[in-house]
Structure 1
Amino acid sequence: MLVAAAVCPAPPLLVPEVAAGAAAELGDARTACSDALAVLAASRPDLLVVVGAAEEAEAGAYRQGARGSFRRFGVAVDVRLGDGGRDGAAGARQLPPALAVGAWLLDHARWGAAPLEALAVPEALDTASCLDAGRELAARADRVALLVMGDGSACRTVKAPGYLDERAAPFDAGAARALADADTTALAALDAGLARELQAAGRAPWQVLAGAAEGAGLGGRLLYEDAPYGVGYFVATWS
């Protein structure tokens, strides 16, 4: 059963070495992520699953100890999904970027509260499949927590990765309300096609969360909402 969740943005720029001279710009987001992880630790889960979107080839489950890297972004920073993975048990696949950011956040928070796993879901995964995946995760243990990595639209300004789209701000506002209210119905109703057009990579992970939280009776709190670089970033807790 899902007992808690934290929603965090997934840009590699959260890692100060990747952000370089712009590291301070996401300082408030990093602080909010740390606060959200404290809520997860306080829930005393039996299992924590990090959920993030990925390319189809990188989708699937990752074990504790799986490794990731930010070398593709020009910095020699490597991460690991918690301890474990000795003798190759964690597998050879590298964590996709969203999960690598999640692993960095957990390492930064010195997570040691529960066993870890990760699930990379394809960005284009349909809503019904996302909800089913969430239900399966919630059934994995008596007390399950999720760290859900994902961004809102990437079309909030003319300098955004997807340029300016007038639909982006309303889409992000709806997502923010759903995350603040722990509204699983509203998250499940997010339009997958529109999310794809707006480059909102968080849509699929958020809908996995919606499936996991069905019937759990959790309350939500929005800790951070902003659109630096023209991309919608949110930090929220459900508990």
Structure 2
Amino acid sequence: MLVAVAVVPQTPLLVPEIAAGAAGELEPLRAAAIEAVREAAGVADRVMVVAPGPGKEAYDSVVADFSAFGYECLDTGASDVRPGSALPLGEWLLSAAGVTLPRTFRETTGTAIDLGGHVRTALLVLADGTAKREESAPGHVDVRSLAFDAVIGTALAGVDLDALASLDPALADALWASGAPAFRALAATVRADAAEGWAARLRYDGAPYGVAYWVAVWSRKDVWSRPA
């Protein structure tokens, strides 16, 4: 049973040691992401961490290892997920939020996530928007980015499953919107479990360094707090 969703960026820059000189500038984004994870997990009995990627395996544990990105500043040990996966960031966020619930990690190409049973589950979705919002962005600038990202931001604020499910994979690739598969998987998973009865809070909508990031929390309206 899906009871809550937290959507956060998949960038390792959320980790202060990695952000280094930009850590202060990114603090509002980091704080919003950690609080969203804490809020979503607070009504659940376990967490499913989802990130875009080709991996088909599910992991019961993932180490917050960022060496694949060239960062070895954190002595965390090595993870067995594919190099470059965003899943280790999910573990870091859960730890930063003080979440100790059982968790499962998996990547998705855009299909629904099998939640596996009736356990109250919070979905932690790691996903970015386009990386072509300005000349200084990783992919430089593409005028189509603003409209593409606006669709995602509006959908996250209003639980618009149709809009997320309809994100064009080819256009997403062209705009370097690497999180599109995770957004489509989010829509498919919510639709399969409980398409209606959700409340949304968009905590962050911005594009530092030309990359679109959001932090959002979706909660089932009938599940606002853990039963006594």
Scaled by the length of structure 1, the TM-score of the pair is: 0.83
CA contact (8 A) 1:46 1:141 kept: no
CA contact (8 A) 1:62 1:95 kept: no
Aligned to 1:115: 102
Q: Shift in Å at residue 120 of structure 1?
A: 1.2
How many residues are aligned here?
A: 215
Structure 1 position 27 matched with structure 2 position 27: yes
CA contact (8 A) 1:151 1:202 kept: yes
Aligned to 1:145: 122
User: Equivalent residue of 1:60, what SS?
Assistant: coil
| C-alpha distance 146-78 of structure 1, shift in aligned 2 (>3 A) | farther
Aligned to 1:220: 200
User: Equivalent residue of 2:86, what SS?
Assistant: helix
CA contact (8 A) 2:62 2:91 kept: no
Q: Shift in Å at residue 157 of structure 1?
A: 0.3
CA contact (8 A) 1:53 1:120 kept: yes
Q: Shift in Å at residue 200 of structure 1?
A: 0.6
Structure 1 position 49 matched with structure 2 position 45: no
| Residue type of the alignment partner of 1:105 | L
Structure 1 position 64 matched with structure 2 position 63: no
What CA distance in whole angstroms lies between the structure 2 residues aligned with 1:98 and 1:227? Answer: 19
| C-alpha distance 194-107 of structure 1, shift in aligned 2 (>3 A) | same
CA contact (8 A) 2:41 2:47 kept: no
Q: Which runs of 5+ in 2 are unaligned?
A: 220-228
Q: Shift in Å at residue 184 of structure 1?
A: 0.9
CA contact (8 A) 1:161 1:230 kept: yes
Q: Shift in Å at residue 70 of structure 1?
A: 1.5
| Structure showing the higher helix proportion among its residues | 1
Aligned to 1:98: 86
| Residue type of the alignment partner of 1:64 | D
Scaled by the length of structure 2, the TM-score of the pair is: 0.87
Structure 1 vs Structure 2 CA RMSD: 2.0
| Structure 1 residue corresponding to 2:186, chosen from 209, 213, 233 | 209
Q: Which runs of 5+ in 1 are unaligned?
A: 81-90
User: Equivalent residue of 1:222, what SS?
Assistant: strand
Q: Shift in Å at residue 192 of structure 1?
A: 1.2
Sequence identity percentage = 40
